């Protein structure tokens, strides 16, 4: 679902109607043209010069063409000659563009603005849900213009998931502790920090409910979950390579076993979620798939 855009209209204001013609015509007073109607920048002038030169060149060739037309061989030769003339003309006009008028690369995106937009978006989503989230509200809270948000996130669903991804990356970075137990525990503890210490604990039920009604949000949510699961599956592969887990260990099942008890308590039973739950889940995983007896 795309953001609703406000249509902009332009109003042309006239100070007074044109005066009726009189018997005596006078020279009209010259008024400076607005800046946008003054001389075009050098790149635009160069383009017009090239177009004008091509028109003159075409007219000259048309006047030189015999009435019966050129033989086939001569037509091919003329095409090559005209192409070379055009290339030479384009190089010449391009060389006339002043260096200071050459196109400059755009400014790099502000990381400060990026972070402010995502913080504001997730905070508003946690307060008002997906339907209540508006670009006006995000812009006002982040202190940026609406165009800045539209350029980065033309789809509201992508903005919501990007804001969640930023939060998760801050609280639960991808671990590589050197052991499979350490990695799985770090993944579980990170998920606890996200749900217990931030607005994500309150926003997660709304996210799941809204995604069930919005295809764009569900797509973005699935992509985010898949990216986070890759971190857990990578930990499983490292554990297999180190000989800590059996070769037939199901990485997808392990990823489910790490997070499923946490989300069950958050969304269904409402019981406390803490480190003891993560420790118990990791113990079960290692008893099921570990190589040590």
pTM confidence score: 0.62
Q: Give the pLDDT band (50/70/90) at residue 292.
A: confident
Residue 85 confidence (pLDDT) = 62
At 266-285, the pLDDT tens digits run 999 999 999 999 999 999 99
Mean residue pLDDT of the chain comes to 80
At 208-221, the pLDDT tens digits run 999 999 999 999 99
Q: Is the pLDDT of residue 120 over 80?
A: yes
Residue 104, sorted as left (phi over 0), alpha (psi -120 to 50) or beta, turns out to be beta
Q: Give the pLDDT band (50/70/90) at residue 134.
A: very high
At 45-101, the pLDDT tens digits run 666 766 776 666 666 656 665 666 556 566 666 666 666 666 665 554 444 434 444
At 243-254, the pLDDT tens digits run 999 999 999 999
Residue 75 confidence (pLDDT) = 60
Q: In sequence order, which residues have a C-beta less than 8 Å from that of residue 116 and are 6 or more positions away?
A: 142, 143, 144
Helices (H), 214-250: 215-241
Token couple for 161: 């998931």
Mean per-residue pLDDT for 176-205?
A: 95
Neighbours of 21 (CB within 10 A): 7
Q: In sequence order, which residues have a C-beta less than 8 Å from that of residue 279 and are 6 or more positions away?
A: 185
Say which residue the tokens 């290692």 belong to: 286
Q: Which one, of 143, 142, 132, lies nearest residue 163 by Cα? A: 142
Residue 82 confidence (pLDDT) = 64
Taking the CA atoms of residue 96, residue 101, residue 102 and residue 108 in that order, the dihedral angle to the nearest 10 degrees is 180
What single-letter DSSP state applies at residue 99?
Answer: G
Q: Over pLDDT 70: what percentage of the chain?
A: 63
Residue 105 confidence (pLDDT) = 53
Higher-confidence residue of 213 and 7: namely 213
The number of CA neighbours under 13 Å toward the Cβ of 130 is 27
Residue 34 to residues 101, 121, 151, Cα–Cα distance (Å): 20, 39, 29
Helix, strand, coil share of the chain (percent; to 5): 70, 0, 30
Give the torsion sign (CA, 25, 31, 36, 38): positive
| Angle at alpha carbon of residue 275, lines to 271 and 277, rounded to 5° | 50
Neighbours of 163 (CB within 10 A): 26
Burial state string for 104-116 with b = 16 or more CB within 10 A and e = fewer than 16: eeeeeeeeebbeb
Token couple for 209: 């409910």
What would you report as the CA-atom Rg of the chain, rounded to the nearest whole angstrom?
33
Residue 276 confidence (pLDDT) = 97
């Amino acid at each position: 679902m795309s953001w609703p855009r406000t249509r902009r209209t332009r109003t042309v204001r006239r100070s007074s109607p044109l005066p009726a013609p009189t018997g005596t015509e006078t020279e009209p007073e010259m008024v400076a043209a607005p800046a946008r109607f003054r001389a075009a920048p050098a790149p635009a002038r160069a383009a017009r010069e090239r177009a004008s030169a091509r028109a003159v060149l075409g007219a000259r060739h048309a006047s030189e063409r015999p009435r019966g037309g050129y033989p086939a061989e001569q037509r091919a030769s003329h095409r090559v000659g005209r192409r070379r003339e055009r290339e030479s003309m384009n190089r010449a006009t391009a060389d006339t563009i002043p260096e200071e008028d050459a196109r400059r690369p755009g400014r790099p995106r502000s990381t400060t603005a990026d972070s402010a937009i995502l913080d504001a978006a997730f905070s508003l989503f946690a307060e008002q849900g997906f339907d209540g989230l508006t670009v006006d509200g995000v812009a006002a809270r982040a202190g940026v213009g609406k165009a800045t948000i539209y350029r980065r996130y033309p789809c509201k669903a992508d903005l919501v998931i990007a804001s969640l991804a930023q939060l998760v990356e801050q609280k639960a970075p991808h671990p590589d502790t050197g052991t499979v137990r350490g990695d799985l525990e770090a993944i579980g503890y990170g998920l606890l920090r996200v749900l217990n210490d931030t607005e994500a604990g309150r926003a997660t039920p709304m996210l799941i409910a809204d995604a069930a009604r919005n295809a764009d949000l569900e797509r973005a949510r699935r992509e985010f979950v898949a990216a986070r699961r890759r971190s857990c599956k990578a930990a499983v592969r490292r554990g297999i390579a180190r000989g800590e887990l059996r070769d037939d260990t199901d990485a997808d099942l392990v990823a489910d076993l790490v997070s499923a008890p946490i989300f069950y308590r958050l969304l269904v039973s409402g019981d406390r979620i803490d480190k003891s739950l993560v420790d118990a889940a990791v113990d079960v995983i290692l008893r099921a798939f570990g190589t040590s007896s």
